[in-house]
């Protein structure tokens, strides 16, 4: 009898299982290995929960016929499709789910903004906040790899992201608000490199700060903006621009709680 330990479960295998790309034999083998790997099982469950949350968010879109206006817009949306493909590669989210979320945003663009949303009407700002919310939805549930560089390597993290984003970055402290830094990661955006810092409180609640160069043509005319609140993504968030850089703080908190954290971040930048 072969008593050699089973090989560790790779993330690529979890992606394949989640997306139904394994045959029956490979699936059975992987499920048996997952039964002996609690950490990998937890990661898979987090991804499944994330996928179902996105499905619930825009489930009605999946059952509706595609509007003619959306079909016309699709012919001019190559950049958006490439962005959605990037998110599929980064987060392990099934392509159909990510597309459903993108379609939901297209549909949102056909309707007036809801009274509870003060999100900027400029498309670059909306896309920036969308990407921030998606980045939070992808990485906040992660068990093994919520960040790329941990807080223990804070100096390296700041230097690395400062170099990639092309300006010195300051790392806000939220300890007085009950949130400790977990670390951060580098992400691509439509206007260049973006950074994400993740914080967690004693209860395990996570918030993320997403930042990068001012998106699109908001430009020099938007050197400073007031805080703008959005409830249109997977999680709510506050967005603002300061000295040519855009910021979005996202998390499953109340508006007042997020505002207090966003103000604490802004005062330290």
In sign, the C-alpha dihedral spanning 120, 124, 125, 129 is: positive
pLDDT (0 to 100) of residue 8: 82
Residues 245, 131 within the same domain: yes
Strand order in the sheet with 192-201: 149-150, 179-189, 192-201, 206-213, 245-250, 237-242, 228-230
Helix (H, G, I), strand (E, B) or coil at 172: coil
Q: Are residues 208 and 94 in the same domain?
A: no
pLDDT, averaged in runs of 10, over the chain (269 residues):
68 85 88 88 84 69 61 53 51 43 41 38 72 90 91 94 92 94 90 92 94 66 70 86 88 92 91
What pLDDT shows up at residue 101? 43
pLDDT at site 257: 93
Per the CB < 8 A criterion, the answer to whether 57 and 104 are in contact is yes
- The answer to whether residue 151 sits within a structural domain is yes
Q: Are residues 156 and 248 in the same domain?
A: yes
Residue after which a domain boundary falls, among 79, 109, 139 = 109
136: domain CATH number is 3.30.200.100
Domain ranges, residue 263? 123-268
Same-domain pairing of 55 and 169: no
Q: Which residue, 81, 109, 137, sits at the end of a domain?
A: 109
Indicate whether this model's pTM tops 0.85.
no
The reported pLDDT for the residue numbered 221 is 46
Q: How far apart are CA 35 and CA 20, in angstroms?
A: 18
Residue 26 and residue 137 share a domain: no
160 within some domain: yes
Q: What is the pLDDT of residue 262?
A: 92
pLDDT for the residue 62: 61
In-domain check, residue 238: yes
| Separation of alpha carbons 51 and 139, rounded Å | 12
Regarding whether 201 and 82 lie in a shared domain, the answer is no
Domain end position, chosen among 54, 83, 109: 109
Q: Where are the beta strands (DSSP E) in the chain?
A: 149-150, 179-189, 192-201, 206-213, 228-230, 237-242, 245-250
- Domain total in the chain: 2
């Amino acid at each position: 009898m072969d008593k050699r330990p089973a090989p560790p479960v790779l993330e690529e295998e979890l992606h394949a299982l989640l997306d139904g790309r394994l045959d029956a034999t490979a699936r059975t083998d992987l499920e048996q290995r997952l039964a002996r790997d609690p950490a990998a099982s937890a990661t898979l469950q987090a991804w499944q929960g994330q996928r179902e949350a996105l499905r619930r968010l825009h489930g009605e879109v999946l059952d509706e016929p595609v509007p003619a206006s959306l079909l016309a817009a699709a012919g001019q949306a190559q950049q958006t499709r490439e962005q959605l493909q990037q998110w599929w590669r980064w987060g392990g989210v099934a392509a159909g789910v990510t597309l459903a979320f993108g379609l939901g945003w297209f549909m949102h663009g056909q309707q007036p903004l809801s009274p509870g949303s003060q999100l900027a009407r400029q498309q670059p700002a909306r896309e920036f906040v969308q990407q921030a919310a998606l980045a939070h939805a992808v990485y906040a549930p992660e068990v093994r790899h919520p960040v790329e560089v941990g807080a223990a390597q804070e100096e390296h993290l700041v230097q690395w992201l400062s170099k990639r984003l092309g300006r010195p970055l300051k790392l806000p402290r939220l300890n007085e608000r009950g949130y400790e830094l977990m670390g951060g990661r580098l992400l691509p955006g439509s206007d260049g490199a973006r950074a994400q810092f993740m914080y967690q409180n004693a209860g395990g609640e996570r918030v993320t700060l997403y930042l990068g160069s001012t998106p699109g043509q908001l430009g020099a005319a938007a050197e400073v903006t007031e805080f703008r609140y959005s409830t249109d993504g997977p999680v709510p968030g506050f967005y603002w621009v300061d000295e040519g850089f855009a910021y979005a703080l996202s998390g499953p908190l109340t508006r007042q709680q997020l505002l207090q954290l966003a103000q604490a971040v802004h005062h330290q930048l």
